[in-house]
Amino acid sequence: MLHSPIDQKPFPAMFTAQPSPCTLSSSTIQHVPTVRRSETITGGGRRIGGFTRQKANNVPGFQSTVQSKHQPIRTVISSEGAKLVEKSQGSNGSLASSSVSGGMEVRAAVTIRRKMKENITDKLEDQWESFMNGIGRGILLQLISEDIDPITRSGKSAESYVRGFPKPSNHPFVVEYAANFRVPNDFGRPGAILITNFLDKEFYLVEIVVHNFSPEPQFFPANTWIHSRKDNPESRIIFKNQAYLPSQTPDGIKDLRREDLLSIRGNGKGERKMHERIYDYAPYNDLGNPDKSDELARPSLGGNEQPYPRRCRTGRRPTKKDPLSESRIEKPHPIYVPRDEAFEEIKQNTFSAGRLKALLHNLIPLISSTLSSSDNPFTCFSEIDKLYNDGVLLKDEDQKDVIKNQFLTNLMNQVFTVGGRLLKYEIPAVIKRDRFAWLRDNEFARQALAGVNPVNIELLKELPILSKLDPAVYGPPESAITRELIEQELFGMSVEKALEDKRLFILDYHDMLLPFIEGMNSLPGRKAYASRTIFFYTPTGILRPIIIELSLPPSSNSPRKKHVFVHGHDATTHWIWKQAKAHVCSNDAGIHQLVNHWLRTHACMEPYIIATHRQLSSMHPIYKLLHPHMRYTLEINALARQGLINGGGIIEACFSPGKYSMEISSAAYKSLWRFDTEALPADLVRRGMAVEDPSMPCGVKLAIEDYPYAADGLLIWSAIKELVASYVDHYYSDPSSITSDVELQAWWNEIKNKGHFDKRDETWWPNLGTKEDLSSILTIMIWVASGQHAAINFGQYPFGGYVPNRPTLMRKLIPGEGDPAYEKFLLNPVHTFLSSLPTQLQATKIMAVQDTLSTHSPDEEYLHQLHNVQSTSIKDPEVLKLFENFSAKLEDIERTINERNRNIALKNRSGAGIPPYELLLPSSGPGVTGRGIPNSISI
């Protein structure tokens, strides 16, 4: 364990005028044997990562007047350019030439970020902390050399308190402190700094820059919270911005590398505390709340019956009613994530604003339904349009009811205009240029290629279409879509010719949903089918839906409940066809959210992130490559477990599967998910949307050239692959260096055997023996975190914000002849259609959530800015050049995508009223833009 290097109290009860030690004589430098964790050192010192530290001598220090200049700092600093570092001039290649008797004077600049929004208490605490640091009683640094004494084989260290009052920087909310060391001439270069926080609370350390080591200052990027010693006596280890493979680690910091990883893993016991940074695994056993209500009990996901990726362990006590379920932390109380995974202040403010907006928009139908004693459906399309055009006005008497609740009153004051009007929804992109686009068949089909869920359409390879479900339970496997029905829709082309020319495609949700349909339809206000949709790719380059099959589970009275719908030119079939399309869209919305969005990106990335922290040192080059792609993911996933995918959460309330939502997600993980086909080219080949072609840039040729998601995605994929291959080649020059990298092998084994425990025995897991293997694995992870997530997330409001286009649930089955509702349908088909959609409350709730999920934060870090993110943690100029080339390539890709969107021959991208496909444009500003690829899954 790493302990604080000092036993004394952080400050005496009575202050004296004597200065605290901040400059050490050469006698303070320790030369002691490096020891193992199990060994004990006695004799007046305390051990830190293999070093023994004696009590510091009282040597007066001096105040540095040299300003520390830094690389860009995350969040509030990220927009500024790097400042030049004042270099100390030296000639001996190790230390600056400004030597003094007994050693060399070394200066450290410590950069700390404060809160942007401070209350009186925060400001008083800042003043107190500044005072404690000023007198040298707040922050202790211990400088660790990369070298060990060649004769004694002992480590070298020097220590100093931060001393002096903070010096303002060029960035708001950022201050700098100084610390001064004296080190001997043979100290070597510093490789790590141990930092102990004697203050009463944590602080955010941006970086430490050590001056007077030539030829240039030594950077120790941190961007981390430093816990208070009263919470944890262990010191934190901050490594220099130098990448080392395990075998290349300098002898002086080898023990620290191991110690740091051990401290991050924890012991798998006890409940995690908010200040900790412990990464461990747990199943999804915290989604239900059986202690609150039997209706909120949910099965644990993770195991043979309901497999699932693992989440980050929190260690809370089990529920009283179900010992296998973990008790919940309900909003607004925070749920544990390792401390550095939590949202930074700008992101937190943005996300909180989004949640606030969601709550307030929910008040629109909530108050209305309270007054009318029911949750009303939309009765006409103009009621939907009012959400964008007029907003909603509350009458004075309505506001009186709300004003009784002071909390709601405060919220209301933030969104009402002077006239008492609630904020309006922005007009979603799908209807912004053409209010009636959603009604057209070609737009319905176009969104399968260029919408928010373009990853489920497949090539239809053979007929008849057969189910893989057990026929003893689910009836005959043959689809009701026959060869004859298809041929009637092909304008004279034979089915054989259409199959041969790859003109038939399918959106098949039959097997995924049918096992759950009976349960879903037993829920109040839910009616769903398992669906199949056939598309025909016409010779003119247009994709047309031609047949929809909607199925219900068989019963004793009706063993075959499969209904087929085709185009019709009379009024009745016209409206029935629209209802059938709405049911398909509802299924598509559910599978998109639960499988493609949540499972395949959010949930499956979490084990990669946990394993990376547990097994790869922050000095490891692969950790440095992956680090920007892990930002905020654990936090947003924890918030999702708290309020979105939990029992009774937004997803259950607003999507067709209801309480079966996560069980469907688990079933998809069991039957469909595999790591190797998460690669974009492999996924396209698996779905028949591409064929392997070595002559093409990514080795595949698209079945439909005008497939915007795939065409743009392959550009992004290729750029990531090229960067990763060059990066891996740079660090792994020796052919055997992959297999001999103990951290890397442990990382990959843990991902397979712990993070995806339920899939650990699958034969499709890639080997990790060559540079090509590693490059392939890393490219998949980075693509999933960046391009893949962007393509299926940031279009949620642009496409789903207009409820008729993508209803997240349907409340009625399609009436057939003889049904009591059929006559009502004939008399008023619009009312039948609208009353089948989500209610006003459900619709506005999901619109608000989709608006939040589609919003870019002002502190977003985008893929094309990757080299800027890396610049503080990697100093190798060749590697930084790789990132610069990558950024330039993404800028070229953005220009290419914009040119494609202007090409009138690409009908899925351009045309009257069609929004351009921009979801894979790398750059974006803040807000709901329908474009931009962040580095990580941050919303």
Query: Catalytic residue numbers?
Result: 597, 602, 789, 793, 939
Could you tell me which residues come within 8 angstroms of residue 856 by beta carbon, excluding any fewer than 6 positions away?
794, 924, 925, 926, 927, 928, 929, 932, 934, 939
Residue written as token pair 């290649």 = 93
Structure tokens given for 544: 């047309």
Asked whether the beta carbons of 657 and 746 are under 8 A apart, the reply is no
| Locus of tokens 């949910």 | 298
Long-range contacts of the stretch 8-15 (C-beta < 8 A, 24+) = 10/132, 10/137, 10/138, 10/198, 10/199, 10/229, 11/132, 11/135, 11/137, 11/198, 15/135
- The one-character DSSP state at 235 is P
Alpha-carbon distances, residue 628 vs 81, 351, 441, 815 (angstroms): 18, 19, 41, 52
Alpha-carbon distance 419 to 542, whole Å? 48
Rounded CA-CA distance 100/125 in Å is: 38
933 touches 790 (CB < 8 A): yes
Does residue 283 have a cis peptide bond before it, meaning omega lies within 30 degrees of 0?
A: no
Phi, psi of 110 (to 5 degrees): -110, 120
User: For residues 686 and 684, what is the distance between their CA atoms, to the nearest angstrom?
Assistant: 5
How crowded is residue 767: how many other Cβ atoms within 10 Å of its Cβ? 10
Catalogue the E-assigned strands of 405-502.
458-459
Coil, helix or strand for 67? coil
- Who contacts 247 (Cβ-Cβ below 8 Å, separation ≥6)? 737, 740, 741
Give the pair of three-digit tokens for residue 511: 């097997």
Count CB neighbours of 131 within 10 A.
14
Q: Of 759, 588, 752, 589, which is closest to residue 666 (Cα–Cα)?
A: 759
Helix-helix angle 510-521:571-591, to 10 degrees? 100
Amino acid at the residue 874: I
- According to DSSP, residue 753 is labeled I
CA distances from 871 to 75, 104, 727 (A): 15, 29, 14
- Do 130 and 166 touch, CB atoms closer than 8 A? yes
State the DSSP string of 828-864: -HHHHHHHHSPPHHHHHHHHHHHHHHTEEPTT--BGG
- Give the C-alpha separation, 350 to 89, whole Å: 45
Nearest to 587 by CA among 549, 558, 560, 545: 549
- Single-letter code of the amino acid located at 845: K
453: Cβ contacts below 8 Å, ≥ 6 apart = 447, 588, 589, 591, 592, 596, 792
Rounded alpha-carbon distances, angstroms, from residue 34 to 1, 53, 149, 584, 781:
14, 12, 11, 66, 38
SS3 283: coil
Structure tokens at 40: 């004990």
* Nearest in space to 594 (alpha carbons), one of 522, 516, 534, 477: 516
Which secondary structure element, helix H or strand E, spans residue 179, and what is its range? strand 174-183
